[in-house]
Structure 1
Amino acid sequence: MTTDPFGRAIRDHYLGNRDEPLIDRDGDETREHSIEQWYFGEHDEDAWRDSWMEGPLLDMGAGAGRDALYYQEQFETVAIEVSEQLIEILRDRGVRDARLANMFELRGQFNRDRFRSAHAVGTQVGLAGSMAGVRQFLADLAFVTTPDAAVVLDNYAPEKDATKDVFAFREDPAPGLAYRVYHEAYKGGVGKTLLFRLFSVDRLREATIGSPWEVTAVTYGDVQWRAILEKV
């Protein structure tokens, strides 16, 4: 049975009703999804990242609202998610503008020049699935953002040796590329297979060619990068 185990597990956790873990599964390999740590902690006050954010802001893949709750106290923030259960949590937690929307279908959901900045932290940009998908995403994001917009994105860095130990990692023979493939299970429900395209910052720069975006700042962690894109 294919359901929304991700949204259901986070909802149950929020309501205090979760008595089973949310499981990420890659064949015989499994891990417990860290719901409290990843979705209900305090906003990670990264001054470098936050300095680029201005309103109106689009928070893509807002989860349980950790970042949207922080940003909306400073400027207009629109939080989007693809799970109806997460939208209920966002609204109940006090996110003032939470919408059921897909970050990979922005052009059909928002007007041109709607946002001054956009935010997608959590490697969800990899769900574009391919570099062609990333280029289409950047084109649609350009449509819904102002001419002076800035965007923060992050992803795993496939060129780093440590990234090969990340759960559900798949090698790609092409330089600067890899995949992650897994699905989630909770209380008998099984989610659809998630295909994440991992790409290096150099590959991101290639994807911006022919678009109004330019990668203007980058920071690295042990296995991930975080980049600022601005329109030029």
Structure 2
Amino acid sequence: MTDPFGRAVADHYHDRRTAPLTVRDGDATRDHPIESFYFEPFDTESEAGRWLSSWVRGPLLDVGAGAGRHALVFQADVETVAIDVSDALVAVIRDRGVRDARAVDMFSLREAFDRDRFGSALAVGTQLGLAGSMQGLRRWLGDLAFATDAEATAVVDSYDPSHEASDDLLGYRPDPTRGLAGRVFHFVYEGAVSETLCFRLFSPGRLREATVGTGWTLADVRRSDAGTAYYRAALAKRG
């Protein structure tokens, strides 16, 4: 796999990137903002940072850690394991100072970790949508429940298809089912094209529905500004 996304982020980190990382759906393209998305320091004192931090307890699993911006901060207080499927990104995460960074597919948590290994998890980057369906989402939530203890919390994120701004997303695919939609695109970097990324977008209500039978409950939802469909959701283990 050519991994244009991982290579672009790594090249940016090593100050050797000479081309944009592009998101493409057919003829529609946008440059992906690597600096602000992956290298801007995580601000624990902002309102959003305080909210996110309030759901973290150790040990922490950072799922799809990107360039490690969250793991770098949280490892100072709790044991933190950062995982990503991209070898290039894992190398960047380690070089930036994350003590425990591993190449792990987020859909292989049962194989990668023991039961009850973590006290909390982050999956921030909309990678939750790669579960592909409500059934896939339930399966992943069940796997995350396996790898976390009885008092665990988690923060995940998505775009809300019921928000009026959702159809502004590049690659957006409407769905007649309320609270669900799709998003399809490729990453392109220096002529290399990634595999097709097919995301399922879930509204908070659909996410709540998916938690049934997984051990999780939807505890809180934090929305972005009124102009976007982005939101973060906090999950907690059922008592």
TM range (shorter): over 0.9
Q: Structure 2 residue aligned with 1:78, among 75, 78, 81? A: 81
What is the distance in 2 between the residues matched to 1:53 and 1:157?
A: 24
Q: Secondary structure at the match of 1:25?
A: strand
Q: Structure 1 residue aligned with 2:219, among 181, 205, 216? A: 216
4+ residue runs of structure 1 moved beyond 4 angstroms? Answer: none
Q: What 5-or-longer segments of structure 1 have no aligned partner?
A: none
What is the distance in 1 between the residues matched to 2:132 and 2:183?
A: 10
Deviation at 1:44, TM superposition (A): 3.9
What is the distance in 2 between the residues matched to 1:26 and 1:184?
A: 9
Query: Match of 2:41?
Result: 42
- Verify: 1:140 aligned to 2:143, yes or no: yes
- Verify: 1:171 aligned to 2:171, yes or no: no
Q: Secondary structure at the match of 1:196?
A: strand
Q: Secondary structure at the match of 2:7?
A: helix
What is the distance in 2 between the residues matched to 1:219 and 1:44?
A: 16
What is the distance in 2 between the residues matched to 1:213 and 1:42?
A: 30
Q: Secondary structure at the match of 2:82?
A: strand
What is the distance in 2 between the residues matched to 1:190 and 1:39?
A: 20
Query: Match of 2:203?
Result: 200
Query: Match of 2:154?
Result: 151
> C-alpha root-mean-square deviation of aligned residues, in Å?
0.9
Deviation at 1:192, TM superposition (A): 0.3
What is the distance in 1 between the residues matched to 2:213 and 2:3?
A: 37
Q: What 5-or-longer segments of structure 2 have no aligned partner?
A: none
Q: Secondary structure at the match of 1:105?
A: helix
What is the distance in 1 between the residues matched to 2:219 and 2:4?
A: 37
What is the distance in 1 between the residues matched to 2:108 and 2:186?
A: 22
What is the distance in 1 between the residues matched to 2:221 and 2:213?
A: 20
Give the count of matched residue pairs. Answer: 231
The TM-score normalised by the length of structure 1 is: 0.98
The TM-score normalised by the length of structure 2 is: 0.95
Query: Match of 2:24?
Result: 25
Query: Match of 1:99?
Result: 102
What is the distance in 2 between the residues matched to 1:115 and 1:31?
A: 37
| Code of the aligned partner of 2:231 | W
Deviation at 1:130, TM superposition (A): 1.0
What is the distance in 2 between the residues matched to 1:228 and 1:44?
A: 18
What is the distance in 1 between the residues matched to 2:16 and 2:213?
A: 49
Q: Secondary structure at the match of 1:11?
A: helix
Deviation at 1:189, TM superposition (A): 1.0
What is the distance in 2 between the residues matched to 1:22 and 1:154?
A: 22
